Amino acid sequence: MRRSLVQPPDPATLQYDHSHLPLLVIGIDTVSRAAAWRKLPLTMEVLGKVDRRPDVNLYQFMRYHTVGFATVENTKALFVGSIPRYESFYNRCPHFAAASKGSFLWSYQMCGQDRVEDLYTPTLSEDWFQYVRTKRPTKDMFENRRPWCSAQLWPKLTTGAYSGGPYSITPRCLDGRVADTYGFDYYLDPEHQSPPPPVAVLWSLAGHEATEAVLSSIDQALASFISELELTRIAVLLVSDHGNHIGMYPYTTAGGWVEMSNPLSVLILPAQNVTGAQDEALRRNEQRLTTHYDMYETLVDLIQGVQGDNQTCSEYGRSLFQDVGARTVVEAGIKSGCMCEECELFTHP
């Protein structure tokens, strides 16, 4: 339910010691929940094993819903809590970003199209985190790691090219390895694990093409990566921004349309960091209508400790550490792309 916004905190007064539970976001662009089950069987098997562990809690949000059509709206909702113009929300809701100092984002998506050699091309990644206080790129705010902007991955092609590059229908390999594995190795490197970064985002484009065939190419590496994580020490969010909206599937089948609006969303938390009441709420929310706005508030809670109120400053989000209750799509902040015509499936209690 939308409420009046709280008075925004002064970013300069926010103090974070970065001693919160480290957060790892594994984002795979353009993967519905159903596509994950179809194309990532090894990863799903590993998640099943994780789910059965007594020392780790796994939550999968079945009715997780997009808040817009494309990557830009959904990732803004996920990482900063709202999707109006940047200037208007940076200072409104700086908690997550301010806590991200010393963290990093790894993504070959962020390679610029024209100036591959530039470290900071004007892409979404900067806007997510680096302009929060200064409106200028600052390495210490949120370091954008992208050492793999190779011409092998990013030849001079348009973003819609099928024959090569990070949006193609061919596997995205560097020196014989799937490009994402470099990000996994980067995170697991002992140098980056003592201590683990307070916030790390590994963003993959393996799902971002028409056929869904490329997604399978990361399955084995992703399954191994998750197996190697110390899940009692960190929080892990395995998430996508939206389902496949590139091929014909969403536009020619009802199931494809639903999938487009139902991205994968799985949260893994150390059991010792979750109270009984929070666990109960998270389990209930697995079957609630939930969105990236809600996940944003959940990430804020993870970073600054779960507060009494489950809405800090995003317009619509409600932390999933409390039961978000039955909401209409309007109350949840979903303005377009509703999964089904009347949205009844997602609004019943």
CB-nearer residue toward Zn ion: 72 or 248 = 72
Q: Which is nearer to Zn ion, 71 or 168 (CB)?
A: 71
- For residue 119, which of 162, 150, 149, 79 has the smallest C-alpha distance? 149
For the bound state, the minimum distance from the C-beta of residue 206 to Zn ion, rounded and expressed in Å, comes to 12
CB of 263 to Zn ion, least distance (A): 9
x/- map, 85-124, Zn ion, by CB under 5 A: ----------------------------------------
Distance between CA atoms of residues 55 and 123, nearest Å = 39
- Per rule CB under 5 A, count of chain residues that contact Zn ion: 4
Question: In the complex with Zn ion, which residue's Cβ is closer, 237 or 269?
Answer: 237
Q: Which stretch binds Zn ion (CB under 5 A): 22-30, 40-48, 258-266, 267-275?
A: 22-30
Q: How far is the CB of 59 from Zn ion (least distance, A)?
A: 22
Place of tokens 């819609």: 160
CA distance 324 to 278: 12
Residue of the chain from 43, 57, 71, 103 that contacts Zn ion (CB under 5 A)? 71
Select 127 or 301, whichever has its Cβ closest to Zn ion: 127
Listed ranges 63-71, 197-205, 284-292, 334-342: which one lies at the site for Zn ion (CB under 5 A): 63-71
Q: What angle do CA 106, 241, 270 make, to 5 degrees?
A: 70
Applying CB under 5 A, the span of 28-36, 38-46, 119-127, 314-322 interacting with Zn ion comes to 28-36
- Choose which of 25, 29, 199, 235 interacts with Zn ion (CB under 5 A): 29
**CA dihedral sign, ordered 77, 82, 84, 90:** negative
Sites for Zn ion among residues 229-268 (CB under 5 A): 241
Residue (30 or 125) nearer to Zn ion, CB: 30
User: Is the CB of 204 or the CB of 298 nearer to Zn ion?
Assistant: 204
> Do residues 155 and 113 lie in contact, with contact meaning Cβ atoms separated by under 8 Å?
no
**Cis ω before 195 (30° cut-off from 0):** yes
What is the closest distance, in whole angstroms, from the C-beta atom of residue 29 to Zn ion in the complex? 4
Nearer to Zn ion, 104 or 167 (CB): 167
Specify the residue, 30 or 298, whose C-beta has the smaller distance to Zn ion: 30
Q: What is the DSSP string of 109-136?
A: GGS-SS-TT-SS-SSHHHHHHTTTTTSS
- Closer Cβ to Zn ion, 27 or 333, answer by number: 27
Distance in angstroms (rounded) separating the CA atoms of residues 129 and 111: 17
Stretch touching Zn ion by CB under 5 A, among 71-79, 181-189, 255-263, 332-340: 71-79
Locate the DSSP E strands across the chain. Answer: 23-28, 56-60, 63-65, 104-107, 143-145, 173-174, 177-178, 199-204, 235-239, 265-270, 289-291
Q: Which of 46, 4, 9, 2 has the alpha carbon at shortest distance from 236?
A: 46
Q: Which residue reads 């969403």 in tokens?
A: 250
Q: How far is the CB of 134 from Zn ion (least distance, A)?
A: 27
CA 161 – CA 324 distance, rounded (Å): 41
> Does residue 23 contact residue 200 with C-beta atoms inside 8 Å?
yes
Q: Is 294 in the site for Zn ion (CB under 5 A)?
A: no
Binding site for Zn ion (CB under 5 A): 29-30, 71, 241
